[in-house]
Amino acid sequence: MFVDRVTLSLLAGKGGNGAVAWRREKYIPKGGPAGGDGGNGGSITLIADPEIHSLENLRNRRIIKAQNGQMGGGNNCKGKNGEDLIIKVPTGTLVKDAATGQILYDLTQKGQSWKICAGGKGGKGNTRFKSSTNQAPLMFTEGTAGESKEVELELKLIADVGFVGMPNAGKSTLISQLAHISVKIAPYPFTTLRPNLGLVVFSDSSRLLIADIPGIIKNAHEDRGLGLAFLRHIERCSILVFVIELSPWEETRDPFEEFCMLRSEIEAYNPSLLEKPFLVALNKIDIEGSDALIGPFRERYSGLLFEISAQNGMGCDALKTTLHDLKAIADSQGQTHSATVDPAAFESECGLAHPLPFLPLID
């Protein structure tokens, strides 16, 4: 099961109490205090792990507690520290305050860690209170409580490329064609109910991570269909690919209007997403009658189009090569996945015959 949002109550371990004890060895009269300090409570640390792709392992763990420190012992023995608790989360996890929604931390890099709740300090034993005027102290201190937090973990997948399209546009088929992975594919809408991830490996050993999100329908921002629940997963993508279906299954259908609708719904969710570089892939060109829809689309869209058939691989190599070039530019600029590729840099460095449409002309 794909889970991208959980709410947790985290509680670090309490420090152990200090001890009141006395030396009682033979031949040592009035041995004095020998109470040890309590151990520190265990802390809770979050670590980003790129091998984890969902918050599913935390779905049924509403309350998570770290181990308490043990009480101090006699003979000045310190209590055992509570074991620290490490929680592995997917790379791209946002940590928010559950009450206010404030972002507390963003785990975006492999191995990045954050001590979210520090364990309590152990108390002092009575040995600590011995003085020249108090040779037999009965004093000790209790361990302090560990920190606690009520947080919401929200996953935003980190990918190089994000596929956006209507239901049944062929996004899952395309990701399976490019990345050679097995995903659920069927001839009906909303086959994809959770984001899919695919890794494309090129001959130069470079890699491209692709995210395919469930289909968007008109008025999705009003929570129709699957709503915009999964659009958070393309916020960190460097490049967007709009996958537009060309099959003429309805006489009044206008693929260009669907493209504009997709951009409108994305803008309703987060206008900054429209500032990202994007490509347009016209899919299902192998279906009879699809060629009649290409011309009207080209008349209204001046940018570079990729005419593909994800089913049989037609045109997919050209799309793959262009995505590789864009990724290389993003890497050379040292940008993170949450950034966008600089359009001027692409036009000057990419060397393609047809620059990509960063600001396409739309009627």
Torsions phi, psi for 3 (to 5 deg) = -120, 125
| Bigger pLDDT: 253 vs 139 | 139
DSSP H or E run through 295: helix 291-300
**How many CB atoms lie under 10 A from the CB of residue 172?**
25
Torsions phi, psi for 159 (to 5 deg) = -140, 160
CATH of 1-155, one of 3.90.1300.10, 2.170.190.11, 3.30.1490.20, 2.70.210.12: 2.70.210.12
**Size (the chain), residues:** 363
CATH number, domain 161-349: 3.40.50.300
**Edge-to-edge strands of the sheet including 113-117?**
85-90, 44-49, 113-117
Closest to 16 in 3D by CA, of 48, 39, 35, 43: 39
What pTM, to 2 d.p., does this model score? Answer: 0.73
Residues of the chain with CATH 3.40.50.300: 161-349
198-218: per-residue pLDDT in tens? Answer: 888 888 878 888 888 776 766
Confidence of residue 363 (pLDDT cuts 50, 70, 90): very low
Residues of the chain with CATH 2.70.210.12: 1-155
How far is CA 361 from its chain centroid?
33
234: tokens are 């393309």
Confidence of residue 333 (pLDDT cuts 50, 70, 90): low
Instruction: List the beta bridge partners of residue 164.
Output: 242
DSSP codes joined into one string, 184-227: ---SSTT---S-EEEEEE-TTS-EEEEEEPPP--TTGGGT-TTT
pLDDT score at 121: 97
Identify the weakest region by mean pLDDT among 97-111, 176-190, 263-277, 306-320.
176-190
Most confident of 85-99, 280-294, 342-356: 85-99
Share of the chain above pLDDT 70, in %: 81
Closest to 356 in 3D by CA, of 314, 321, 317, 312: 321
CB 202 within 8 A of CB 225: no
Confidence of residue 270 (pLDDT cuts 50, 70, 90): confident
